[in-house]
Chain A
Amino acid sequence: MTIHLKIWRQKDKNSPGKLVDYTVDDANPDMSFLELLDWLNERLMNEGREPVEFDHDCREGICGSCNLVLNGMAHGPMQGTAVCQLHMRKYKDGDTIVVEPWRAKAFPMIKDLVVDRSAFDRIMAAGGYISVNTGAPADANAIPVDKYNADQAFDYAACIGCGACVAACPNSSASLFTGAKISQLAHLPQGDPERNRRVVNMVDQMAEEGFGDCSNYAECEAVCPAEISITSIAKMRREYFNALSEIE
């Protein structure tokens, strides 16, 4: 199959970028989208041209490394799917796909389709951790967690931190990511000592990094490869309100 690509090329943060046209005329429907880019890059390198830089790692939808906006949608058109798990059979022969990086002030450009997502690491460092005793490992299941809370925590823990929520949000808000992390820990006894400080510090850090406000568009939930619900954002708001009432 023939696929026309319009790929964002940008040398570095300070150079202007633009969409560049490429055509792959022997794409295989069983290729993943990233394999299509590999195929294109091999051609470019053989021709002595510079390959397209893009982030990837596990290619099985669980690491959160891949981050492409295809035709205006973060991770492409399929629900609950990271772009590495999107296959060319989803497209028709002759389709044109516009490929862009995550765009947000808090995710500065590195090169082409690669952006710096360390803002998420700093949000995690602000409170996304728990205190544990050092020494010999504790027995498994020593702290009971009931089924409801275990399920809730697990659903929120599914967040892979890819940043699609920010990329798709018209406001570039990181509320879904931060909400998922806060909600996950708020459902567990582990980390309870840090509970109040956690939500206040993580919410502060989110603003500090330059992410925008949430307007409840819920576009984040629609593009999330882990299908995290915006109820995590509602939970984060309850946690924040309670935390401020309790903190001295």
Chain B
Amino acid sequence: MSKAATFLNSQVGRKIATGVTGFGLVLFIIVHLLGNLAYFAGAEAINTYSHTLHQLGPLLWIVRLGLLAFFLYHAWLGVSIWLERRRARPEKYEVYASRGGASRQSWSSSSMVLTGILLFLFVITHLNTFAFHDFATITYGGVEMHDVHARLTEVFLQPLYTVYYVVIMVLLGMHLRHGVWSAFQSLGWMSRKTNPIIYSIAFVLALIIAIGFIGLPLSIYFQLV
């Protein structure tokens, strides 16, 4: 086996790969969130932002394909680690409890595979709602572009979709609460001193991202913008 194959087949390598792909996806999520915030600056701002992204051409496709690869690999690793646990303990405990203290077992860490699968399904519907949508066009200063602003407004005025989106963003926050901290530990960037600091930073980051994504649909739905 080549070194890369040995690495990616080992328990340590799989964990490091989960952390690296996770960090990549978090980076994308942060950029996506900042992009969403352009909505608050008005229709021209977000439409121009979207148009500028599309002008990137091949670079945009490289990023898209990279993201897709990261996303699929991350999901596959998560599911396979979860399947492995069933094999590693064929006979379950009659009673099982967490000791607390140093334990990081929580709603967040115990539901990673579930929140992950729901996020996976969400991304498919989300791409269908926005990325693959046949946008109306609008012209600014003689340049024709997609009217992303109108589509966002139209979608988030629907109560069902807004509720669905908000719930998923809460799940995203839960996934990142354990995920961000866990990625640092998986990459070995952890010492006894930094452990509690990183655990707290992960919570704050997850909270900011969840609130950030929930802010836009709620603002549109309640017609605050």
Chain A interface residues toward B at CB < 8 A? 6, 8, 19, 69, 71-74, 77, 79, 98, 100, 103-106, 168, 170-173, 175, 200, 203-204, 206-207, 210-219, 221-223, 229-231, 233-238, 240-241, 244, 247
A-B pair count, CB < 8 Å, reads 149
Q: Is the CB of A203 within 8 A of B88?
A: no
Pairs A-B, 5 closest by C-beta atoms: A212-B88, A72-B97, A238-B188, A222-B103, A172-B88
Q: Could you say which of A103, A212, A217, A229 contacts B105, with CB atoms under 8 Å apart?
A: A217
Q: How far is the CB of B85 from chain A (nearest CB, A)?
A: 4
Give 5 A-B contacts (CB < 8 Å), ordered by A residue.
Answer: A170-B85, A172-B88, A216-B181, A217-B103, A237-B12
Chain B interface residues toward A at CB < 8 A? 3, 6-7, 10-16, 81, 84-85, 87-105, 109-110, 112, 178, 181-182, 185-192, 195
> Which A residues lie within 8 Å of B100 (CB)?
222
> Which A residues lie within 8 Å of B89 (CB)?
103-105, 171-172, 212
Q: A73-B99, A98-B95, A217-B109 are in contact. Are A244 and B7 (CB under 8 A)?
A: yes
Q: A207-B11, A244-B3 are in contact. Are A171 and B182 (CB under 8 A)?
A: no
Q: How far is the CA of A218 from the CA of B105 in the complex (A)?
A: 7
Quick one: which of B11, B81, B95, B101 has the most chain A CB within 10 A?
Answer: B11
Q: How far is the CA of A238 from the CA of B99 in the complex (A)?
A: 28
Q: A77-B99, A104-B88, A204-B10 are in contact. Are A215 and B109 (CB under 8 A)?
A: yes
> Which A residues lie within 8 Å of B91 (CB)?
103
Q: A171-B85, A235-B188, A244-B7 are in contact. Are A218 and B16 (CB under 8 A)?
A: no
Q: A100-B95, A216-B109, A219-B103 are in contact. Are A240 and B85 (CB under 8 A)?
A: no
Q: How far is the CA of A104 from the CA of B92 in the complex (A)?
A: 9
Q: How far is the CB of B10 from chain A (nearest CB, A)?
A: 6
**Given A200-B6, A215-B182, A238-B188, 7 additional A-B pairs, CB 8 A:** A8-B94, A203-B10, A215-B109, A218-B105, A229-B192, A234-B190, A236-B188
Q: Is the CB of B85 within 8 A of A237?
A: no
Q: Residue of A at shortest CB range from B191?
A: A231
> Which A residues lie within 8 Å of B15 (CB)?
213-214, 216, 237
Q: Is the CB of A231 within 8 A of B93?
A: no
Q: A79-B101, A206-B11, A231-B191 are in contact. Are A215 and B88 (CB under 8 A)?
A: no
Q: How far is the CB of A170 from chain B (nearest CB, A)?
A: 6
Quick one: which of B94, B190, B192 has the most chain A CB within 10 A?
Answer: B94
Q: How far is the CA of A212 from the CA of B148 in the complex (A)?
A: 46
Q: Residue of A at shortest CB range from B189?
A: A234
> Which A residues lie within 8 Å of B187 (CB)?
237
Q: Is the CB of A233 within 8 A of B84?
A: no
Q: Is the CB of B105 within 8 A of A247?
A: no
